[in-house]
Amino acid sequence: MTEERDERAVSLMLALSEGRDDALNALMADWSAPLIAYLSKLTGSVSTGEDLAQETFVRIYRHKLDYRPHQKFSTWMYAIATNLARNHHRWKQRHPEDSVEPENLSGLAAAATTDDPHQSASRSETMRALAQAMKKLPDTYREALLLSTSQGLSHSQIARVQDSTEKAVEVRIYRARQILRELMAAHLDESN
């Protein structure tokens, strides 16, 4: 996450609020990829991540006059996206389904090429276990960990996204890592 991209986003938001709708296209070009990656990891589904990212940009457009240029655009955008993901999660709990989406795990690891099929299968199994372990984390822990590790937000930015304190964010990330370590240790013990 570069400061330049955030500064560009602020100027694009100002243009958008002045009625230049083409600024939304530029925002989407700059922010779609990291937003989809975050939401896909948060929800466990690439297609859901893409849908929620689109809805995030709809909300950005709809609330363009509410944006305040003194706040970082990325923090504001991730707060909107996180709230949409929470709403989606609550909806899914009330409307469970039994479908399994094989593409859910596709974005979890960078494609590593190897000639050894055993190593490749082992890596795939570890990534599936990691995806399952991530799903077991409390939502606030998973959000904080993903915003920190995959999106590069600072603890203060995450605190604003989660409407929390920096210390609470620090604790959430620490506990998320502890839980993942414990869950993955059990998986690694089984695979040995």
Average pLDDT value for residue range 166-190? 86
- pLDDT tier for residue 97 given thresholds of 50, 70 and 90: low
**Radius of gyration from C-alpha coordinates of the chain:** 18
Q: How far apart are CA 93 and CA 66, in angstroms?
A: 31
Q: Verify that 129 and 93 share a domain, yes or no.
A: no
Residue 137's nearest CA partner among 174, 108, 163 is 174
Which structure tokens are listed for 142? 């998973």
Q: Verify that 122 and 186 share a domain, yes or no.
A: yes
**Residue 122 has what pLDDT?**
67
Q: Classify residue 29: in a domain, yes or no.
A: yes
Q: Classify residue 72: in a domain, yes or no.
A: yes
Q: Verify that 131 and 42 share a domain, yes or no.
A: no
For the chain, strand residue ranges (E) read: none
The residue whose two tokens read 């203060």 is 156
| In the predicted structure, residue 160 carries a pLDDT above the cut 70 | yes
Q: Give how many domains the chain has, as a whole number.
A: 2
Supply the range of the domain harboring residue 166.
Answer: 117-192
- Which of the residue ranges 13-17, 92-96, 132-136 has the most confident prediction, judged by mean pLDDT? 13-17
Q: Verify that 122 and 184 share a domain, yes or no.
A: yes
**Residue 104 has what pLDDT?**
39
Q: Verify that 18 and 90 share a domain, yes or no.
A: yes
What's the CATH number where 171 sits?
Answer: 1.10.10.10
**Residue 38 has what pLDDT?**
93
Q: Verify that 89 and 7 share a domain, yes or no.
A: yes
| In the predicted structure, residue 103 carries a pLDDT above the cut 90 | no
Q: Verify that 93 and 172 share a domain, yes or no.
A: no
Query: What angle separates helix 73-94 from helix 139-149, to the nearest 10 degrees?
Result: 150
What's the CATH number where 10 sits?
Answer: 1.10.1740.10
**Residue 191 has what pLDDT?**
60
Among the candidates 97, 131, 161, a domain finishes at 97
Q: How far apart are CA 28 and CA 63, in angstroms?
A: 15
Q: Verify that 60 and 127 share a domain, yes or no.
A: no
Percent of the chain scored above 70 by pLDDT? 82
Q: Classify residue 103: in a domain, yes or no.
A: no
- pLDDT tier for residue 12 given thresholds of 50, 70 and 90: very high
**Residue 117 has what pLDDT?**
66
- pLDDT tier for residue 108 given thresholds of 50, 70 and 90: very low
Which structure tokens are listed for 135? 């799903």
Please provide the average confidence, as pLDDT, over all residues in the chain. Answer: 83
23-63 per-position pLDDT tens digit? 999 999 999 999 999 999 888 889 999 999 999 999 999 99
**Residue 98 has what pLDDT?**
43
**Residue 118 has what pLDDT?**
62
Q: Verify that 84 and 176 share a domain, yes or no.
A: no
Average pLDDT value for residue range 9-29? 93
DSSP 59-88: HHHHTTTT--TTS-HHHHHHHHHHHHHHHH
